[in-house]
Amino acid sequence: MKLPTLTISARSGWLDQKERFSANIAGSEQQNYTLLSKGQLSYNHGNSKFAKYGAVFELRDYKEALVPRVYHSFRCTIESKPAFLEYLFVTKKPDRELVKLISSGARMDGLLNINYDDFMGIKITIPEVDEQIRIGSFFSTLDNLIAFHQRKLELMKQMKKGLLQKIFCQELRFEGFDEEWELHQFGDLVDKIKSYSLSRDIESSSLTEYQYIHYGDIHTKVADIIDENTDLPYIKGEGYELLQQNDLIVADASEDYEGIAEPAVIKELANRKIVAGLHTIALRPKETDSVFLYYLLHTRQFKEYGSKAGTGMKVFGISFPNLAKFEAKIPPLEEQLEIGDFFLNLDKQINLRSQKYILLQKLKNSLLQQMFI
């Protein structure tokens, strides 16, 4: 029977390398791997941006597996429990001991090179076995809850992606709507309005008269569906031409084709003075719902067009003339509003699920610090 070959990701835990290894590891290759049994642990001592001194994980989901011999693999004694030790390393408490090894010279080519004996010699503080079991069980249950919300979040995102495709291709229609959609060029649906080459150095830490939308804030979702709660940067200066409610602001530059013409929309202006900043195309819809257009620019149909119309090598861009040539079928205004409201509500549900997921992660991190003193 072929044994799984696993490696450790500090962020994701055990990763099956079956796509990398299509056949059984045999012969001379086996000397580079250790046979790990269920309940045993491995320490990946390679540093990364996620875990400076590596991470420990217990083998739970496999009876046996092959892991790289460079990992420090071990089993617990009767005084310790694997789940507790795994969470102990998550807290980075052992880093206080590991850093002593690094400062004494255990480093090679920028990576950690802690040998097995030194690693096994580090000092850690643990409670009685019964308390270890309860702590390990508690955090395992919390991790399962976090994983549940993560799966739900991914499913909702996939559902939205599928519905965008089906609704904008008219495979699905809302009840009561049967009029034909008409083909339009995007430029016929909007007027281009004033945007400014305002970069980050124009921003102010004071609450000035104006706020702005920078293309970087669109890509990071700081500026997305903008309402009275959206925290936009304040800027210095005066006399700017202002954006209006329902305006669409498109990023004309991106580091990849997927982000070309990423949009934001002003859903609620709330008496604020907002201007379009660096690398943005500001648009004012004409007898067309801005939220509908916002979601249209997220469809696969537009992304495929953007990848062809975009220009550049390391930074990709799209001009208004090229954006204006995009063709799509558009329904009557009443159906546009229905579609826009549907996806707004779906996005609200996705955001609520995302917030719960993030809060649970923060709760876990806080409890780890409190329990592992």
Total domains, the chain: 3
DSSP 224: S
d(CA 348, CA 342): 10
d(CA 127, CA 141): 20
Count CB-CB contacts under 10 A for residue 189.
22
d(CA 292, CA 306): 18
Residue 20 has pLDDT above 80, yes or no: no
Q: What is the pLDDT of residues 222-237, one digit of tens each?
A: 999 999 999 999 999 9
User: Is 250 within the bounds of a domain?
Assistant: yes
Residue 336 has pLDDT above 90, yes or no: yes
For the chain, give me the number of helices (H) and strands (E)? 9, 22
Q: How far, CA to CA in Å, does 218 sit from each of 137, 253, 254, 281?
A: 41, 11, 10, 12
State the CATH number of the domain containing residue 261.
Answer: 3.90.220.20
d(CA 153, CA 149): 6
* Better-predicted residue by pLDDT, 133 or 93: 133
Residues 318 and 336 in one domain: no
Give me the pLDDT at residue 29, please: 61
Residues 216 and 321 in one domain: yes
The helix-helix angle for 129-168 and 300-309 (nearest 10°) equals 80
Let me know: does 325 contact 309? Beta carbons within 8 Å: yes
**Residue 241 sits in which domain range?**
182-329
User: Is 133 within the bounds of a domain?
Assistant: yes
Q: What is the pLDDT of residues 71-99, one digit of tens each?
A: 899 999 989 999 999 999 888 888 888 87
Give me the pLDDT at residue 153, please: 97
User: Is 295 within the bounds of a domain?
Assistant: yes
Residues 189 and 296 in one domain: yes
User: Is 289 within the bounds of a domain?
Assistant: yes
* Better-predicted residue by pLDDT, 227 or 46: 227
Kindly write down the DSSP assignment for every residue of 272-339, as one continuous string: --EEE-TTEEEEEESSS-HHHHHHHTTSHHHHHHHHHH-B-SSSEE--HHHHHT-EEEE--HHHHHHH
State the CATH number of the domain containing residue 168.
Answer: 1.10.287.1120
Q: What is the pLDDT of residues 276-291, one digit of tens each?
A: 999 999 999 999 999 9
**365: three-class secondary structure by DSSP:** helix
User: Is 1 within the bounds of a domain?
Assistant: no
User: Is 43 within the bounds of a domain?
Assistant: yes
Residues 192 and 220 in one domain: yes
Residues 118 and 253 in one domain: no
Tell me the pLDDT band of 148, cut-offs 50, 70 and 90. very high
Range from 91-105, 243-257, 297-311 carrying the lowest mean pLDDT: 91-105
Q: How far, CA to CA in Å, does 101 sit from each of 49, 96, 105, 112, 147?
A: 19, 9, 7, 9, 34
Of 125, 144, 161, the residue that ends a domain is 125
Give me the pLDDT at residue 45, please: 73
User: Is 201 within the bounds of a domain?
Assistant: yes
Let me know: does 155 contact 163? Beta carbons within 8 Å: no
Residues 186 and 323 in one domain: yes
pTM for the model? 0.83
Let me know: does 142 contact 364? Beta carbons within 8 Å: yes
Q: What is the pLDDT of residues 156-187, one digit of tens each?
A: 999 999 999 999 999 999 999 999 999 999 99
Average pLDDT taken over every residue of the chain: 89
Residues 168 and 236 in one domain: no
Residue 17 has pLDDT above 90, yes or no: no
Residues 36 and 133 in one domain: no
Residues 248 and 168 in one domain: no
Give me the pLDDT at residue 82, please: 94
Cα atoms in the 13 Å half-sphere on the side-chain side of 173: 13
User: Is 80 within the bounds of a domain?
Assistant: yes
d(CA 133, CA 83): 8
Residues 69 and 119 in one domain: yes
Let me know: does 196 contact 277? Beta carbons within 8 Å: yes
Tell me the pLDDT band of 206, cut-offs 50, 70 and 90. very high
Percent of the chain past pLDDT 70, that is, above it, reads: 90
d(CA 278, CA 326): 23
Which sign, positive or negative, has the C-alpha torsion 60, 65, 71, 72? positive
Of 91, 125, 159, the residue that ends a domain is 125
Give me the pLDDT at residue 85, please: 93
Residues 224 and 267 in one domain: yes
Residue 40 has pLDDT above 50, yes or no: yes
Residues 114 and 133 in one domain: no
